[in-house]
Amino acid sequence: VNDLIRSFVAVEVPDAARAQVCELLSRLGPVPGVRWVKPDAMHLTLAFLGEVTQNFIRSAEQALAPVAASAQCFDARLSGLGAFPSAHRARVFWVGMDQGRDELCRLQASIVQALVPVGFVPESRKFSPHLTLGRLKVPADVSSPAGVRFTGTAFAVDRVILFRSELRPEGPRYTRLAEFALAPSA
Ligand code: 2AM
């Protein structure tokens, strides 16, 4: 009963957009030091809840439902490569967004705002929309691959997902705990 559940809130990227990311990865070829994320595990994280109780999950679900219902669906497009904290000392190598950026930021802010009363402690860093492509244990320079041009095709963001994350030696497994539909756009 007191088991902790590692969880996060994210937006999924449809298969077509993920296929474009796969194509991009094959274009990039191997990048030394980067462990790639499996394409079917790629998503846009909005809030990382960490290890939380089942009770917290239930409260979070109740908090998320009205937020999603009052946000409108929007179109998003993956575009541009980059790295955290910087391309010269990268730890996270990602693809960014152009279309839908402001909408995703607003959605993220309203989700955080709704989760704080439930006990969520927001990150102090500013939210930066990104889809993690790979991670580096040892920071390295990825400015050359990060300079590759990439723009996907637009897709509809019509729901947010509460995921469970199980860390395993083979890599994390993400499973859906709940889905919250956004309001149809006018
Ligand atoms: P990311 O958003 O940069 O990809 C599940 O672990 C997801 O939550 C990942 O996508 C991950 O990073 C994101 N995340 C955010 N903060 C995290 C943290 N402190 N630990 C693990 N994952 C975190």
Distance 175 CA to ligand 1 centre (A): 14
The secondary structure of 101-113 as a DSSP string is HHHHHHHHHHHHH
Q: Please give the average per-residue pLDDT across 116-128, as a whole number.
A: 96
Q: Which of 130, 131, 160, 162 is catalytic?
A: 130
Asked whether the predicted pLDDT for residue 1 surpasses 80, the reply is no
Q: Is 88 annotated as catalytic?
A: no
| CA 8 to ligand 1: nearest atom | 8
Q: Which of 45, 78, 93 to mutate to test the pocket of ligand 1 (most atoms within 8 A of CB)?
A: 45
Distance 77 CA to ligand 1 centre (A): 21
Q: How far is CA 177 from CA 53, 54, 57, 92, in A?
A: 13, 11, 9, 26
Q: Please give the average per-residue pLDDT across 36-49, as a whole number.
A: 96
Asked whether the predicted pLDDT for residue 96 surpasses 80, the reply is yes
Q: Which residues contact 23 (CB under 8 A, 6 or more apart)?
A: none
Predicted model pTM: 0.95
In this structure, the residue with its CA closest to atom 4 of ligand 1 is 132
Asked whether the predicted pLDDT for residue 149 surpasses 80, the reply is yes
Q: Are 74 and 157 in contact (CB under 8 A)?
A: yes
Sign of CA dihedral 123, 124, 130, 134: negative
Q: Are 181 and 67 in contact (CB under 8 A)?
A: no
